[in-house]
Amino acid sequence: MNKKALVITGGSRGIGLAAAALFRDSGYRVINLSRSAPALDGIEHIVTDLSDSNWTNKISRQLQAAVAGVDEISIVHNAGLLLKDSVETVNADILHRVMQVNVVAPAELNQILLPTMGADSSIIYVGSTLAEKAVTNCCSYVVSKHALIGLMRTTCQDLVGKQIHTACVCPGFTETEMLREHVGGQQEVLDSIASGVTFNRLIEPMEIAKTLFFAATNPVVNGSVMHVNLGQIEH
């Protein structure tokens, strides 16, 4: 059995898929939690719908069995839900749904795994540039990502003395299915977004995956908010 394990949410595509591959290739046992399985060999997949408020009861035993005997566990809270809404249109149902996936589920997953996490384990949250700023028509997502930084900072304080570290990695505009879906697949919109970055391009998922690996394996970043966005042009 591998001495190290990664438990990642949303590892079937985008940043999550790149991270699952990188950790696997670095000798980790990788367990993915998402609705669809990643197209990767050597990954254990547990079908999970984080938007279901009862998801923990459905997979807790299977997940605990998957990490049995592994002391050093890295959790990467990667799954995220991005909807188009504004302060004028967002409603309670939308807020509940987005907060469930983006904030509540990470807190619940921590509680499943913390009793078995030994020294040098880590809890890494995937935030967003929008975790500390805002743009239009992303109200529920912005609110949830701001809350995620709060959850990370609380994680840091509540786990004092346990030798488990945490950080929130906040990607900028990354070439993912989620971003393409959000802009309706319009290449001109993606090009416009890229023009607002100092490197004039979108970030590759593997670039974020490498940052997640760094954060997961370096306790010195404990409590850090790490913005990884190629430098955004401010106006």
Q: What is the CATH number of the domain that holds 113?
A: 3.40.50.720
Provide the pLDDT for residue 192: 79
Domain that holds residue 42: 4-174+204-228
Provide the pLDDT for residue 54: 97
* Residue 26 lies inside a defined structural domain of this protein: yes
Instruction: Give every residue of the chain whose pLDDT is below 50, as ranges.
Output: none
* Residue 116 lies inside a defined structural domain of this protein: yes
Provide the pLDDT for residue 234: 80
Provide the pLDDT for residue 1: 53
Provide the pLDDT for residue 59: 98
Give me the number of domains the chain comprises. 1
* Residue 179 lies inside a defined structural domain of this protein: no
* Residue 12 lies inside a defined structural domain of this protein: yes
Provide the pLDDT for residue 181: 77
pLDDT digits (tens, 9 = 90+) for 109-150: 999 999 999 999 999 999 999 999 999 999 999 999 999 999
| Cα–Cα–Cα angle for 142, 143, 148, rounded to 5 degrees | 95
Sort 94 into a burial class: Cβ within 10 Å, 0-12 / 13-18 / 19+. middle
Contacts of 134 (CB under 8 A, 6+ apart): 142
